[in-house]
A = this chain, B = another copy of it.
């Protein structure tokens, strides 16, 4: 019988913490070679070291203690590890994929945030461009703009993870109405996503004049007026539906709202996407 190691020394040898060693004993994964009955001191020998090292290696591979128990059981019987390890592999692969998906989603979010910051620092001038076609979950109703805080949450809750962009609102009449506007509440969907319990529609592309409005949504009036004046000056005919996209919503600081206003038009323009 060789040298005996107390728990602290064993910890240094194996890289497992003292707490972990005690836990693994309690879980029946790694029993000390001897436990002094009077003092309760745990003593390990060289024979315990390979098992401890295996344990550490598996733990560092992110196996749960339960999975480790299974692997060790099969290992000590010389049985096949393939099935156990394949299960673990599947779990870890899913974990990695999930984290990776989150990273990608966060990147998208960060890009949108960065663009919003950019818009706040230097609001883009009035521009003309084609809005691309987009698949949306849509809820059409008569009502007022301030219903947004009621409608969008429902829509977002229904679409869940299929949401692929900032929500927007279509105004089907050009005249401003306080409380009986004909509105479509829209949420862009990821390609291929098919949420249930909601009407899905494909919006065609459309040529528009666009401006980004900075400030709370009650104050968009003058910005709309600029768009109408612009088209009028170019002898183009405004069309419907108007689109208000809520790029950034602030709850307390009124200054950092961002709304993209897009006014479609018909008339002299030949389609030209440059």
Contacts and interface: CB of A to CB of B under 8 A. Distances in A.
Interface of A: 2, 13-15, 46-47, 49-50, 52-53, 57, 60-62, 75-82, 85-86, 88-89, 92-93, 95-96, 98-100, 102-103, 105-107, 109-110, 113-114, 117, 149-150, 152-154, 156-157, 160-161, 248-253, 255-257
A118 B255 CA distance: 69
A78 B216 CA distance: 12
Given A82-B117, A255-B78, A88 B106 contact: yes
11 contacts: A13-B154, A53-B153, A61-B102, A76-B250, A76-B253, A78-B248, A80-B113, A82-B114, A85-B113, A89-B106, A92-B102
B106 A53 contact: no
Query: Interface on chain A toward B: helix, strand, loop, or mixed SS?
Result: helix
A103 B96 contact: yes
Q: How many copies does the complex hold?
A: 2
B92 A99 contact: yes
Contact of A154 (B49, B62, B89, B105): B49
Contacts of A13: 153-154, 157
Contact of A152 (B50, B61, B109, B251): B50
Nearest to A152: B50
Given A62-B98, A96-B99, A161-B60, A89 B107 contact: yes
A188 B253 CA distance: 60
A50 B102 CA distance: 21
A102 B62 contact: yes
